């Protein structure tokens, strides 16, 4: 029979059974619910956007003007490609324009677009590629982030802040590079 004074962990109140305690399914379920709540509160990540391309394109724009950047520590972009090519993640400030984007180096690229690095999807591996914007709950700071997948690149701006950010752009680095139809772009916020 279950002991009247069962021991519990100090932080989350999880059951700590003794030899004479009866182990009940309801106790396990209650503990699992406590763990789920505690872990969910600590991780706090949320899907903010999902775009699936309907056709092959050299450029895809994702409107992020409705994201309140002060709420987030990180913004994580995930591209699941469907075609081979070299493309870059770009930030576009409000009113920013550019006819072609190319990211050849790290740092401030000196254009209306701020590059966060290049990725390459090879024919043998169409793995997801990632961009992490380092917001740290401070949208007044300059844009900065990392991109990894095919390569690892750190990008930054000495001109634009997250307050200026309205569009996230994925663009081919040459006229022959495309983002294939059915490619999925997800944006996640991490608290």
Tell whether 1 is covered by a domain: no
Determine the Cα–Cα distance for residues 6 and 15; give it in Å rounded to an integer.
Answer: 7
The residue length of the chain stands at: 191
Residue 126 belongs to some domain of the structure: yes
Q: Quote the tokens at residue 118.
A: 């290049």
Q: Are the beta carbons of 116 and 145 closer than 8 angstroms? A: yes
Could you read off the pLDDT tens digit of each residue along the chain, which spans 191 residues? 444 567 888 888 888 888 888 888 888 788 888 887 777 667 678 899 999 999 988 888 888 889 999 999 999 988 888 876 666 666 665 555 543 333 333 333 334 344 444 455 555 566 777 888 889 999 998 877 777 766 666 677 777 788 878 888 777 666 667 788 898 999 999 98
Number of domains in the chain: 2
Q: Determine, yes or no, domain membership for 2.
A: no
User: For the domain that residue 69 is a member of, what is the CATH number?
Assistant: 2.60.120
Are both 25 and 55 inside the same structural domain?
A: no
pLDDT value for 92: 61
Whether 26 and 65 share a structural domain:
no
Same-domain pairing of 141 and 83: yes
Distance, in Å, from the CA atom of 115 to the CA atom of 169, rounded to the nearest integer, reads 9
Q: Are strands 129-134 and 74-80 parallel, antiparallel or unpaired?
A: antiparallel
Using alpha carbons only, what angle is made at residue 95 by residues 90 and 96, rounded to the nearest 5 degrees? Answer: 35
Would you state the pLDDT for residue 186? Answer: 93
* Same structural domain, 65 and 13: no
In a domain, 94, yes or no: yes
Largest CA distance in the chain: 74
Residue 26 included in any domain: yes
Residue 163, Cβ density class (10 Å: 0-12 exposed, 13-18 middle, ≥19 buried): middle
Q: Are 77 and 57 contained in the same domain?
A: yes
Predicted pLDDT of residue 128: 76
Report CA 92 to chain centroid distance, whole Å. Answer: 17
Tell me, yes or no, whether 97 and 166 share the same domain: yes
- Shared domain for 21 and 87, answered yes or no, is no
Q: Are residues 39 and 84 in the same domain?
A: no
Are residues 91 and 170 part of one domain? Answer: yes
| Number of other residues whose CB lies within 10 A of the CB of residue 122 | 11
Q: What is the span of the domain harbouring residue 37?
A: 7-43
The C-alpha atoms of residue 50 and residue 94 are separated, in whole angstroms, by 21
Half-sphere exposure of 25 (CA within 13 A, CB side): 0
The residues that bridge with 168 in the sheet, in sequence order, are 62, 91
Q: CA-CA distance, 119 to 128, in Å (whole number)?
A: 10
**In terms of pTM, does the model score above 0.75?**
no
């Amino acid at each position: 029979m279950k002991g009247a004074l069962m021991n519990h962990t100090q932080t989350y109140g999880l059951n700590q059974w003794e030899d004479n305690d009866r182990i009940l399914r309801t106790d396990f379920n209650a503990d699992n619910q406590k763990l789920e709540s505690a872990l969910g509160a600590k991780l706090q990540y949320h899907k903010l956007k999902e775009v699936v391309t309907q056709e092959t394109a050299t450029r895809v724009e994702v409107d992020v003007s409705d994201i309140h950047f002060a709420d987030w520590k990180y913004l994580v972009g995930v591209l699941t490609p469907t075609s081979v090519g070299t493309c870059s993640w770009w930030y576009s400030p409000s009113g920013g324009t550019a006819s072609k984007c190319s990211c050849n180096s790290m740092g401030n690229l000196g254009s209306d677009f701020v590059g966060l690095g290049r990725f390459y999807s090879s024919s043998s591996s169409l793995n997801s590629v990632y961009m992490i914007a380092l917001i740290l709950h401070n949208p007044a700071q300059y844009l900065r982030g990392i991109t990894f997948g095919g390569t690892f690149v750190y990008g930054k701006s000495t001109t634009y802040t997250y307050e200026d950010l309205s569009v996230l752009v994925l663009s081919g680095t040459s006229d022959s590079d495309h983002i294939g139809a059915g490619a999925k772009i997800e944006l996640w916020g991490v608290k």
